[in-house]
């Protein structure tokens, strides 16, 4: 009869216990010790129907393991899943803009391949261009790193501002329109100032001309007076 090698049985039992017990974290999607609950079925069915779902429970009750398991099942069915950990996006020291930028970058990083597979960037740009009546100027402005020559002015700007009132536009659109307004105000102010200066120059020139005429008249008068005085004195 063969005997058990001393200590070997305890090592084997230890390895078995290690696979059956885990402290913290989520279980792998294929963990053999995962206990399937009604929540697994309910969450999977609801997500398959396209419903927006919440999972509430206390700490260390299997929420993360549930997410991993359901995500794995959805991906097996061809769905594209992405996990976003909101606790890793910043701290109390970041601004709202920085926090939302972090969310955007995480989403882009996780879903970029999906967007590229579903959408053609050229097609998306073409559709956006069709929606914007000023798309050519906007694209040229962005490509030129903000060259003011492409900004909207005067009546064209006013037409586009009226059109934009009922639209939901991107930040780039709003920056472009704001830059156009600033440029138009500066140019309008400069035009008015130039016109004012020209008007002042015209008045000064007219006043100078009147003064010159008056001076010539005075000189003629002096000449006449001198001539008359000399005639009266006589030889």
Judge whether residue 8 has pLDDT over 60: no
Whether the Cβ atoms of residue 137 and residue 151 lie closer than 8 Å to each other? yes
Cα(108)–Cα(41) distance, integer angstroms: 30
Looking at the fold, whether 142 and 218 belong to one and the same domain comes out as: yes
DSSP state, residue 151: S
pTM: 0.39
Predicted pLDDT at 64 = 80
Query: Taking the alpha carbons of 186, 192, 198, 201 in that order, is the dihedral positive or negative?
Result: negative
Please give the residue that has the higher pLDDT: either 39 or 123: 39
> Could you tell me if residue 69 is inside a domain?
yes
Whether the Cβ atoms of residue 146 and residue 119 lie closer than 8 Å to each other? no
Query: Which of 163, 129, 136 is CA-nearest to residue 151?
Result: 136
DSSP state, residue 62: S
Looking at the fold, whether 76 and 155 belong to one and the same domain comes out as: no
Q: Which of 81, 102, 120 is the last residue of a domain?
A: 81
Looking at the fold, whether 234 and 156 belong to one and the same domain comes out as: yes
Instruction: Give the percent of the chain with pLDDT over 70.
Output: 66
Judge whether residue 1 has pLDDT over 70: no
Q: Among 4-8, 109-113, 139-143, 173-177, where is mean pLDDT lowest?
A: 4-8
> Could you tell me if residue 120 is inside a domain?
no
Host domain of residue 27: 14-81
Q: How many domains does the chain have?
A: 2
In this prediction, residues 92-103 reach a mean pLDDT of 69
Predicted pLDDT at 103 = 73
Q: Which of 81, 106, 121 is the last residue of a domain?
A: 81
Looking at the fold, whether 144 and 72 belong to one and the same domain comes out as: no
Looking at the fold, whether 144 and 216 belong to one and the same domain comes out as: yes
Q: Among 73-77, 171-175, 230-234, where is mean pLDDT lowest?
A: 230-234
Judge whether residue 196 has pLDDT over 80: yes
Looking at the fold, whether 56 and 145 belong to one and the same domain comes out as: no
Looking at the fold, whether 151 and 231 belong to one and the same domain comes out as: yes
> Could you tell me if residue 44 is inside a domain?
yes
The predicted-structure confidence for 130-169, as pLDDT tens digits, reads as follows 677 888 898 889 889 989 999 999 999 999 999 888 777 7
> Could you tell me if residue 87 is inside a domain?
no
> Could you tell me if residue 155 is inside a domain?
yes
Instruction: Give the percent of the chain with pLDDT over 90.
Output: 14
Mean pLDDT of the chain: 76
Measured at the CA of 190, the angle between CA 185 and CA 193, to 5 degrees, comes to: 125
> Could you tell me if residue 157 is inside a domain?
yes
Judge whether residue 69 has pLDDT over 50: yes
Looking at the fold, whether 212 and 141 belong to one and the same domain comes out as: yes
> Could you tell me if residue 121 is inside a domain?
no
> Could you tell me if residue 124 is inside a domain?
no
Looking at the fold, whether 154 and 66 belong to one and the same domain comes out as: no
Kindly indicate the confidence band of residue 178, based on its pLDDT and cuts at 50, 70 and 90: very high
Predicted pLDDT at 189 = 92
DSSP output for the chain: ---PPTTHHHHHHHHHHHHH---SSPPPTT-TT----HHHHHHHHHHHTT--------TTSSHHHHHHHHHHHHHHTT-------GGGS--TTS-HHHHHHHHHHHHHHHHHHHHHHH--HHHHHHHHHHH-TTHHHHHHHHHTTS-GGGS--HHHHHHHHHHHTT----HHHHHHHHHHHHHHHHHHHHHHHHHHHHHHHHHHHHHHHHHHHHHHHHHHHHHHHHHHHHHHH--
């Amino acid at each position: 009869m063969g005997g058990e090698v001393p200590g070997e049985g305890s090592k084997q039992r230890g390895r078995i216990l290690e696979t059956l017990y885990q402290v913290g974290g989520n279980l792998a999607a294929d963990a053999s010790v995962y206990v399937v609950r009604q929540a697994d079925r309910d969450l999977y069915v609801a997500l398959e129907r396209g419903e927006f779902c919440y999972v509430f429970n206390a700490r260390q009750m299997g929420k993360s393991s549930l997410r991993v398991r359901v995500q794995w099942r959805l991906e097996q069915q061809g769905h594209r899943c992405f996990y976003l950990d909101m606790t890793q996006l910043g701290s109390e020291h970041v601004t709202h803009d920085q926090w939302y930028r972090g969310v955007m970058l995480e989403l882009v990083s996780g879903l970029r391949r999906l967007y590229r597979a579903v959408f053609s960037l050229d097609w998306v740009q073409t559709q956006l261009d069709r929606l914007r009546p000023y798309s050519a100027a906007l694209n040229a402005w962005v490509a030129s790193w903000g060259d003011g020559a492409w900004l909207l002015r005067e009546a064209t700007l006013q037409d586009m501002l009226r059109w934009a009132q009922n639209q939901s536009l991107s930040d780039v659109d709003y920056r472009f329109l704001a830059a156009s307004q600033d440029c138009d105000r500066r140019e309008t102010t400069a035009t008015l100032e130039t016109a004012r200066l020209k008007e002042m120059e015209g008045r000064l020139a007219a006043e100078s001309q009147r003064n010159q005429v008056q001076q010539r008249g005075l000189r003629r008068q002096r000449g006449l007076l001198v001539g008359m005085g000399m005639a009266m004195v006589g030889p």
